[in-house]
Chains A and B, each alone.
Chain A
Amino acid sequence: AQSVTQPDIHITVSEGASLELRCNYSYGATPYLFWYVQSPGQGLQLLLKYFSGDTLVQGIKGFEAEFKRSQSSFNLRKPSVHWSDAAEYFCAVGAVSGNKLVFGAGTILRVKS
């Protein structure tokens, strides 16, 4: 069965500092991987996705993620965090593109000025 682990429940970074949010998945075949962001009381916005090809994917708002098959990881990164990035971030894995996503527990990002 598919599963997603986001080891960090909360992360606090200073504005302007770099960010890395961890995501590990468990799946037997090549997974379809997603990162979504959720602001309080809102739905989810897609940041980026990996289906195949280049293992470093670029997303919106300056985010990128790298798929590492050997580590079963898909960590999200941003070189310089802005206060508006404070939100909850979800990593998700799907067996078939877009279908039946399994979400991680989420990581709450706080940005301090």
Chain B
Amino acid sequence: GAVVSQHPSRVICKSGTSVKIECRSLDFQATTMFWYRQFPKQSLMLMATSNEGSKATYEQGVEKDKFLINHASLTLSTLTVTSAHPEDSSFYICSALGPGETQYFGPGTRLLVL
């Protein structure tokens, strides 16, 4: 139980385009989901907290207009990287707050912006 999926697992896009990443809780409902970014050989950095039916809460230094988060249902949150640039290339991981008040993580999305 407590499975979280992400789609796509990998995406390559051209600079200036937008990319949407989906995060789904498959077997539980999650009012709260989280989006992290992980640079190579580094730890996870929380970008934002996504709450179903309300606006996301962004961490300091994260541009909310660049990283759009929508949590439209209890099982789906999306992260859209708008006007992506090469410096946005990274590994993006979502998590969902699930049973036992524990975060369950998705498998991650590798974004490469050319």
The interface size of chain A toward B, counting residues with CB under 8 Å, comes to 21
Q: Which DSSP category, helix, strand, loop or mixed, fits chain B's interface?
A: strand
B93-114 vs A: 1/0 string, CB under 8 Å? 1010100111111111010000
Q: State whether A90 touches B100 (Cβ < 8 A).
A: no
Q: In the complex, which of the residues A42, A45, A105 contacts B43, with contact meaning CB atoms closer than 8 Å?
A: A105
Shortest A50–chain B CB gap in Å is 11
- A98-B97, A99-B97 are known contacts. Are A46 and B46 too (CB-CB below 8 A)? no
> Which of B103, B104, B105, B106 has the largest number of chain A CB atoms within 10 A?
B103
Scan residues 70-113 of chain A and give those whose CB is less than 8 A from a CB of chain B: 90, 97-106
The interface size of chain B toward A, counting residues with CB under 8 Å, comes to 23
Please, how many angstroms separate the alpha-carbon atoms of A43 and B107 in the complex? 4
Please, how many angstroms separate the alpha-carbon atoms of A42 and B101 in the complex? 22
> Which of A36, A49, A98 has the largest number of chain B CB atoms within 10 A?
A98
A17-44 vs B: 1/0 string, CB under 8 Å? 0000000000000000010100001111
Q: In the complex, which of the residues B32, B44, B106 contacts A103, with contact meaning CB atoms closer than 8 Å?
A: B44
Say if the beta carbon of B6 comes within 8 Å of chain A.
Answer: yes
B residues near A45, Cβ cutoff 8 Å: 105
Q: State whether A101 touches B105 (Cβ < 8 A).
A: no
| 9 residue pairs, one from A and one from B, having the closest CB atoms | A97-B101, A98-B101, A44-B105, A43-B105, A43-B107, A103-B43, A43-B108, A98-B97, A103-B44
